[in-house]
């Protein structure tokens, strides 16, 4: 298994531009999490899905952020319009939730976003 795949690995954009980050979870996993990491705020949970349905988006900072999971193998996190304070590393993680199986998260390598 190739693990959780995120793209792009690095993105540099200008303020006001739309940014789309992509995530392919591990095949068979049914939970997906989006995190943002900065030096000041650490690792913050933005939103998570279970069986493609958003369960909790209370961590999404504002309406400029949106996330979708159209199917079990793909999710996007979109920022429109982007601002310099959105600069961070964005991580996607997936896990299998089911019955008595321990719920272990597997993280992708992250997408480093710089908004100028």
Partner 1 sequence: DAKTTQPTSMDCAEGRAANLPCNHSTISGNEYVYWYRQIHSQGPQYIIHGLKNNETNEMASLIITEDRKSSTLILPHATLRDTAVYYCIVREGTSYDKVIFGPGTSLSVIP
Q: Per rule CB under 8 A, is residue 71 in the interface with partner 1?
A: no
Q: How many CA atoms lie within 13 A of 18 on its CB side?
A: 6
Question: Is 18 strand, coil or helix?
Answer: coil
- Total of residues contacting partner 1 (CB under 8 A): 27
Q: Least Å distance between CB 103 and partner 1?
A: 6
- How many whole angstroms separate alpha carbon 25 and alpha carbon 107? 9
CA-only gyration radius of the chain, Å: 14
- Residue placing its CB nearer to partner 1 in the complex, 65 or 91: 91
Site for partner 1 in 18-57 (CB under 8 A): 31, 33, 35, 42-43, 45, 48, 50, 55-56
- Residue placing its CB nearer to partner 1 in the complex, 37 or 81: 37
- Residue placing its CB nearer to partner 1 in the complex, 71 or 100: 100
Please enumerate in sequence order all residues whose Cβ is within 8 A of that of 37, keeping only pairs 6 or more positions apart, or say none.
43, 44, 88, 89, 90, 91, 110
Q: Least Å distance between CB 99 and partner 1?
A: 7
- How many whole angstroms separate alpha carbon 110 and alpha carbon 14? 20
Q: Which residues bind partner 1 (CB under 8 A)?
A: 4, 31, 33, 35, 42-43, 45, 48, 50, 55-56, 89, 91, 93, 97, 99-110
């Amino acid at each position: 298994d190739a693990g959780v795949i995120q793209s792009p690995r690095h993105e540099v954009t200008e303020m006001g531009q739309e940014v789309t980050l992509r995530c392919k979870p591990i095949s068979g996993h049914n939970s997906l999490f989006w995190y943002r990491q900065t030096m000041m705020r650490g690792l913050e949970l933005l939103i998570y899905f279970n069986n493609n349905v958003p369960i909790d988006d209370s961590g999404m900072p504002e309406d400029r952020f949106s996330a979708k999971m159209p199917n079990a193998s793909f999710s996007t996190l979109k920022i429109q319009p982007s601002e310099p304070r959105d600069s961070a590393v964005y991580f996607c993680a997936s896990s299998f939730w089911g019955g008595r199986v321990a719920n272990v998260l597997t993280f992708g390598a992250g997408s480093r976003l710089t908004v100028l």
